[in-house]
Amino acid sequence: MPFLKNLLLRLHGLIQRYPWVMPVYGFISGLAGFFLVERQAEFAKVIAILLLVSWLWLMLENLFNQGLERWFGLQLPPWLLRFATQMVHQQSLFFVLPFFALTTSWDSGQLVFTGLLGLCALLAIIDPLYFNWLAPRRWLYLAFHSLTLFAALLTALPIILHQTTAQSYQLALGCAVLLSFPSLLGTLRIRHWWRWLALPGLSLALLGAGWLARPWVPPATLWLSEVAVSSQMNAGQRTPGQTREQLSSAQLKAQGLYAYTAISAPRGLAERIYHVWRHNGKVVDRIALDINGGRKEGYRAWTNKRNFPADPSGKWRVDVVTDGGQMLGVLRFRVDP
């Protein structure tokens, strides 16, 4: 294997000489993957599968390295494994970030999740921070690794399996916790019996925390392309009338109100969403919408509300949420006395 060894040494020399090339490559390839997914639904599956295969290799890199040494007498240098791990992190983060940037409700707790992904992407492309600050801190590195894997699964699974957002969230969370188990096992360095009990407890805690955090996690493959609050709706053309941000109590009771949403997805749509009507922060109605199919401009759906409180004045909002409790967006309007 002299040729392969010389090739690896040359690659190492190029990386050391031009360290800025790989972060740029990770950034460009991630964004290119997003735009290809958005435009080519079939090609989306290929990109998503390659992303998950790279993560599977990452989890089995030790077994792979042992097999190479046993059967071919070749051991991959540690720097190459570190480089491959960093590349998987970079490409995964820059692939998923545009999805989450589109789907995040920036005036909600989802800002925290997407902000953490952005911070992770920044850490992944700055070598001194990634190798000298993040990697030596095993607990922090495990959290970084698990969050990146969870975001990648949350984006890739609906594209590959055509699941609803609720199903993909459950599967992504379960897989992320399961695949982080070997890293957790190595981090704990179990030498006492009580640490064996702590290991499943920590895994269950991660699972529970991830489940409770659903409203803070944007649905990566669904986003609102158009919204409107209107007193009129053209059902034939499926278009709303003039958008209303403020109206009187008399107008509201006389005409009612429509909440209109157009929902886009690169994989098509087949699930249930809800329009949750809130008056001064209190839920007054929850209306289900079954959406099927999909189009470039988004699947158009609306709810019409005519029953209002005796005094409807104040601040109103309509939360658009998935069946699994993830928020797609918010429509706001105000009613004057």
pLDDT one digit per residue (tens) for the chain, 337 residues: 555 455 545 655 555 565 555 556 555 655 665 565 554 445 556 666 766 777 666 666 555 555 556 665 556 566 666 777 777 888 788 888 888 888 888 888 899 999 999 999 888 888 788 888 888 887 788 788 888 888 888 888 877 777 788 888 888 888 888 776 655 555 445 455 555 566 677 778 778 888 888 889 998 878 888 888 888 888 788 888 888 888 888 888 888 888 998 887 766 667 788 999 999 989 999 999 887 755 555 688 888 888 888 888 899 999 999 888 888 888 899 988 8
Q: What is the pLDDT of residue 274?
A: 92
Task: State the pLDDT at residue 89.
Answer: 83
Q: Which CATH class is domain 223-336?
A: mainly beta
The pTM of the full predicted model, rounded to 2 decimals, is 0.75
pLDDT of residue 40: 47
pLDDT of residue 134: 85
| Predicted local confidence at residue 184, as pLDDT | 53
- Residue boundaries of the structural domains of the chain: 2-216, 223-336
Query: What pLDDT is attached to residue 206?
Result: 79
pLDDT of residue 136: 84
Give the per-residue SS3 of the chain: CHHHHHHHHHHHHHHHHCCCHHHHHHHHHHHHHHHHHHHCHHHHHHHHHHHHHHHHHHHCHHHHHHHHHHHHCCCCCHHHHHHHHHHHHHHHHHHHHHHHHHHCCCCCCHHHHHHHHHHHHHHHHCHHHHHHHHCCCHHHHHHHHHHHHHHHHHHHHHHHHCCCHHHHHHHHHHHHHHHCHHHHHHHHCCCCHHHHHHHHHHHHHHHHHHHHCHHHCCCCCCEEEEEEEECCEECCCCEECCECCEEEHHHHHHHCEEEEEEEECCCCEEEEEEEEEEECCEEEEEEEEEEEECCCCCEEEEEEECCCCCCCCEEEEEEEEECCCCEEEEEEEEEEC
pLDDT of residue 328: 87
